[in-house]
A and B are shown apart, each in its own frame.
Chain A
Amino acid sequence: MAIKISDETLWKRLREGDELAFSTLFERYFRSLVNYGNSLMAYSDKVQDCVQDVFVDIWIYRNSLQESVVVKAYLIASLRRRAFRMVERDHIFNKATSDEKLDFLIDFSIEDQLIHEEFTAIKVKRLNELLNQLPSRQKEAIYLRYHQGLNIEQIAETMDINYQSANNLIYRGLQQIRSAWPEDFALVLLMISEYL
């Protein structure tokens, strides 16, 4: 019957120097941060390092942390900035001047367990292909929105772009899929829904 202490309370205690609050937040978000980190960097030991360093800085600079933040969004944004710096550092000698240094590496996969009909399977497979063909930044924005549950403002902050650009990334991504989505699927869907 454990009642979860809210992020806000833990954050407040952490700023006051409570080690237990720090550890609790670490345990709460470590997994999802490693997961996001894996989507940005190919080497898992570097990901672990990055995530740990995010927390190290939070503790060391706890006195100057902002008072009210959405903890998860703050962690995700810090992790991305750190990963970006790390990748940039590794590339500095290679003179890689691509403006998208940080690629989103994860491919979406298919939730097999929920699919019971062959027809659905075909549609989901096609949709999955379309999603994975999206440009890296659009994919990342969609991941942050629907997997990590961030809002547009937080995504903008994380990806270091303005609100409108973040909104566009998601909107365009979905739009692109819709236009590639064969019309007949929509028709069939209508028919199916009549049988229900």
Chain B
Amino acid sequence: MQKKYQTIDDFLSDSSFKEWVYSGKENEQWDEWISRNGNLVELLEQAKLYLMAMKVNEPLITENEVNEALSHTWEKIYQKENVWYFGIIKYYNQHKALSKIAALLLFGLSLVWIYNRHNTHESTLAYEDLIEKQDDGLIEEANNTTKPQLVILSDGSSVLLQPNSKLSYPKFFDKNERNVFLQGEAFFEISKNPQRPFYVYSNEVVTKVVGTSFRIKAYKDQPEVDVVVRTGKVQVSSNKDLTSAFKTVVLLPNQSIRFQRKSLMFDQVETIVQTNPQGNTEVIESINFEFVDAPVSQIFESLQKAYLIHIDYPEEKLKDCYLTTSLSDQPLAEKLKIICESLGSNTRYEMNGNQVSIFSTGCN
């Protein structure tokens, strides 16, 4: 509320007034204001009528449409920046004398660059190097089996660690950021927390997110690092410690990027048409978590398959329970919580390693 309302404009341009009118609810502050300013009630009532008569129908724009427009905008930017680059080449071709100077300059610069590269003996960063720099104790989870292994982090995020892969993480995360270290391949579902960004360090690549799901492939003996985004938005960079040509790329859902470890460069961003080209139905990305009027048994079945866990639940009591819910963008703990809450107040879950137990007396 502002201090003074003297004209109709004072009311109409005041967001707290608009909020109050549009909410259609009682508000003590305004009731009090009215009782103190009887002479202005007429003006206030008029302002209300104006608001009712000034509605603007806004077209519904879904989040997907916004994301699409954003992707498209980035494409336009890349195109425009490339056109500039070719424009410069053309300019120098037309000015032959200048082009010789430019060529000399370029030659000189490349010498400097080669010299610098020669002097930085470490051009790759491995998992061990990354871990070494961390002074406080990290927990390491290594998957030496042949099946993906589920790791639940202290913030509720879930990680599906693939065979021959390792993940290091602190028991409790820092107040301001969440850092984990990966060698090999894993699928991440990060619990949302914008104030506490989540960083995955994998070889030379750093992936930053606030809450989303994505897969990283960063094997020690492979020449590339791949990041594939399923939901949300991810920022991928080369590790700052390593390259002077630090670069950042933003990925949106169903986009992927490849980092060449040798040249320390990113390839072009690619859009994935099919999330699972190998047709491997065991991969978590291929499992649909959008349920419409689905029996809970089916939902639990999908969870078991996706996370390779075992869920114990009272089948008889829950046999008539159906749910419509969207669980795509949530880590496992969040998925379980949503299911239990939807089933009603007398349902809860407990998790112990790969074993999940659902306790319930039935659904509402």
Contacts and interface: CB of A to CB of B under 8 A. Distances in A.
18 contacts: A19-B250, A30-B70, A31-B58, A34-B59, A35-B58, A52-B76, A109-B57, A111-B53, A114-B51, A124-B52, A127-B50, A127-B53, A145-B9, A149-B15, A151-B13, A170-B9, A189-B42, A193-B45
Nearest to B24: A114
B195 A56 contact: no
A131 B55 CA distance: 11
Given A26-B73, A27-B70, A149-B15, 5 more contacts: A26-B66, A30-B61, A30-B66, A52-B72, A120-B49
B354 interface: no
Given A26-B73, A52-B76, A59-B77, A35 B56 contact: yes
A123 B81 CA distance: 55
A185 B9 CA distance: 19
B41 interface: yes
Given A20-B235, A30-B66, A131 B194 contact: no
Quick one: which of B72, B77, B81, B235 has the most chain A CB within 10 A? B77
Interface in B54-94: 54-59, 61, 66, 69-70, 72-73, 76-77, 80-81
Contacts of B265: none
A60 B70 CA distance: 15
Interface in B202-246: 233, 235
B74 to A, nearest CB: 8
B12 interface: yes
A190 B70 CA distance: 51
A171 B54 CA distance: 16
A114 B54 CA distance: 12
A19 B235 contact: yes
Nearest to B54: A108
Nearest to A127: B53
Contact of B66 (A27, A35, A146): A27
Contacts of B53: 108, 110-111, 124-125, 127-128, 131
Interface residues of B, number: 41
Interface in A124-183: 124-125, 127-128, 131, 142-143, 145-147, 149, 151, 170, 174
Contacts of A75: none
Contacts of B61: 30-31, 34
A56 B73 contact: yes
Contacts of B33: none
A23 B212 CA distance: 16
Interface string A11-47: 0000000011001001100110011001000001000
Contacts of A109: 55-57
B195 A3 contact: yes
B346 interface: no
Nearest to A35: B58
A70 B12 CA distance: 20
A174 B8 contact: yes
A111 B51 contact: yes
Nearest to B42: A189
Contact of A3 (B12, B50, B52, B194): B194
Interface of B: 8-9, 12-13, 15, 21-22, 24, 41-42, 45-46, 49-59, 61, 66, 69-70, 72-73, 76-77, 80-81, 192, 194-195, 233, 235, 248-250
Nearest to B67: A27
A51 B73 CA distance: 9
B42 A53 contact: no
A52 B73 contact: yes
Contact of B80 (A30, A60, A151): A60
Contacts of B194: 2-3
A25 to B, nearest CB: 10
A69 interface: no
Given A30-B66, A34-B59, A60-B81, A146 B13 contact: yes
Contacts of A60: 77, 80-81
A31 B70 CA distance: 12
A23 B9 contact: no
Contact of B233 (A23, A56, A131, A174): A23
B59 A35 contact: yes
Given A19-B250, A170-B9, A189-B42, A108 B55 contact: yes
A102 interface: no
B72 A111 contact: no
A20 B192 CA distance: 16
Contacts of A128: 53-54
Contact of B70 (A23, A108, A145): A23
A145 B80 contact: no
A59 B249 CA distance: 14
B55 A189 contact: no
Nearest to B195: A3
